[in-house]
Amino acid sequence: MEAIKAPRGTRDVLGDESWKWARVLEVTRDVADNFGFKEILLPIFEHTELFSRGIGEVTDVVQKEMYTFIDRGDRSITLRPELTASMVRSYLEHDMRRRPQPVKLWGWGPMFRYERPQKGRYRQFAQIDFEILGAQNPLADVEIIDLSMEIFRRFGLSNLQVLINSVGCPACRPAYRETLRKFFGSKTQHLCDTCNERLDKNPLRVLDCKRTECRDQTDSAPSMIESLCIECGEHFAAVRRGLENLGASVSVDNRLVRGLDYYTKTAYEILSGDLGAQNAVCGGGRYDNLAEAIGGPRVPGVGFASGIERIVLTMEAQGAYMGREPHVDAYVVTTGSGAEYEAYMLAHELRAGGLSADMDFMGRSMKAQMKTASQAGAKFACIIGDDEIAAGTVTIKDMETGTQETAPRGVAVEKIKLRKEGSR
Ligand code: AMP
């Protein structure tokens, strides 16, 4: 029988990578605290309507990418493709409008999209996600963009490009859609099949097609900025002013429209120069009509999401500091036959003393155990053999310097602790 493999588009994050994720989340949590965001933990599956109504029926995500199934109670359920709609659902369900506004929330976890897998693009991937709910003020947009840039700064990332655009609102977008339809109308033979399909329902999406033949056509397309209504125009100018005050280097990109329907006004993305085709590390914007689309009152909001796999890939590509790979402080090495149980007691004492400790269970030779100790990054090897058991001692070997000392069992833990402190 053939061994079962993980489904296409999923990946196992093994021990040599998972500690990097811990670092990403630690930094994210710190920045969330700095900016006054509260973490919330949301379900991984939701009612399908949340996404079909929230994200929009005619988007790629809803039409082609959702993992939807009927559960045993005959409900249509979808594995979440993103977090924003769930955040807004939770805000409405818990009547967070009664709290002082805006409400600032963040969360993280796995998302699911049936996409064509490639480097940096998976069917199950993880995002960190930040949302400011209840604020119309352009400063909220500034804060979201500032926060995402701050997170990347603390990850030690460079070679990033921040792109911003405005996608208008239901007052000014329809006219722009028409302008685009007219503009592309005479160029249909140069556009790809998908763009020809999009032209009818969602011509803005033609702007972000990555195919060269389509990009050649979009180069000279009229820009949304010129079609913005007064309110959207002022909002865009205010966001840009706020970002300029911060000295942030941000470029306006007329083609940035984002794949989800709920965006209004600000849309932005951060691209990494080190990722290849899937180069977006972060995307977000304003979504003032999302709450209404899912059956609530009007709640303006702005937020962003960033993929953890792409953050880690960028950090690796740039050699960014990721903290230290976890290692054991002390590896207990046994010689002689009857030492295993004593060794386990010592490991237990080391752990109870706040140190990380490990030992061999496989009856390997002392040489092999020393090798494992060094592979595990142990700072000390604690050797216990028949002599040590008889004398009630342990031999402590410093793995870096090679020096050895023998100490009574009772003081070995304290000695290792002191030397660990001293070597910091
Ligand atoms: P979106 O929700 O599409 O705006 O995406 C926000 C961020 O999530 C992107 O900038 C990526 O960093 C990440 N992302 C989106 N889709 C995927 C995917 N299929 N695989 C890995 N990361 C993704």
> pLDDT digits over 91-127, tens only?
999 999 999 999 999 999 999 999 999 999 999 999 9
Instruction: Quote the pLDDT of residue 300.
Output: 98
Where is average pLDDT lowest: 15-29, 278-292, 321-335?
A: 321-335
80 lines ligand 1 (CB under 6 A): no
| Whether CATH 3.60.130.10 fits 330-418 | no
Instruction: Quote the pLDDT of residue 311.
Output: 95
Q: Which two tokens stand for residue 326?
A: 């976890």
Q: Maximum distance among all alpha carbons in the chain? A: 93
Amino acid at 199: L
Closest Cα to atom 10 of ligand 1: 282
306 lines ligand 1 (CB under 6 A): yes
Question: pLDDT by residue (tens digit) across 257-271?
Answer: 877 778 899 999 999
Could you tell me the pTM of the whole model?
0.92
Atom of ligand 1 nearest to the CA of 270: 10
Distance of alpha carbon 371 from alpha carbon 375, whole angstroms: 6
CB-based contact 161:133 (threshold 8 Å): no
Closest CA to 25 of 122, 144, 151: 151
Closest Cα to atom 1 of ligand 1: 283
Residue 104 burial class via C-beta count within 10 angstroms: exposed 0-12, middle 13-18, buried 19 and up = buried
Instruction: Quote the pLDDT of residue 424.
Output: 60
Per-residue CA distances from 147 to 30, 104, 306 (Å)? 11, 12, 12
CB-based contact 258:269 (threshold 8 Å): yes
Atom of ligand 1 nearest to the CA of 120: 21
Distance of alpha carbon 176 from alpha carbon 302, whole angstroms: 22
Instruction: Quote the pLDDT of residue 309.
Output: 97
Binning the chain into helix, strand and coil, the percentages to the nearest 5 are 40, 20, 35
Domain with CATH 3.40.50.800 in the chain: 330-418
Atom of ligand 1 nearest to the CA of 280: 10
61 alpha carbon – ligand 1 mean position (Å):
11
23 lines ligand 1 (CB under 6 A): no
Closest Cα to atom 5 of ligand 1: 283
122 alpha carbon – ligand 1 mean position (Å):
9
Instruction: Quote the pLDDT of residue 278.
Output: 84
111 alpha carbon – ligand 1 mean position (Å):
9
Quick count: other Cβ atoms within 10 Å of Cβ 350? Answer: 25
Instruction: Provide CB contacts within 8 A for 122, sequence distance 6+.
Output: 9, 10, 11, 115, 309
Helices (H), 246-328: 290-293, 308-318
Domain with CATH 3.30.930.10 in the chain: 15-172+228-318
> Is the pLDDT reported for residue 197 higher than 90?
no
Overall fold of domain 15-172+228-318: BirA Bifunctional Protein; domain 2 (3.30.930)
Instruction: Provide CB contacts within 8 A for 366, sequence distance 6+.
Output: 333, 334, 335, 383
Question: pLDDT by residue (tens digit) across 339-361?
Answer: 899 999 999 999 999 999 999 99
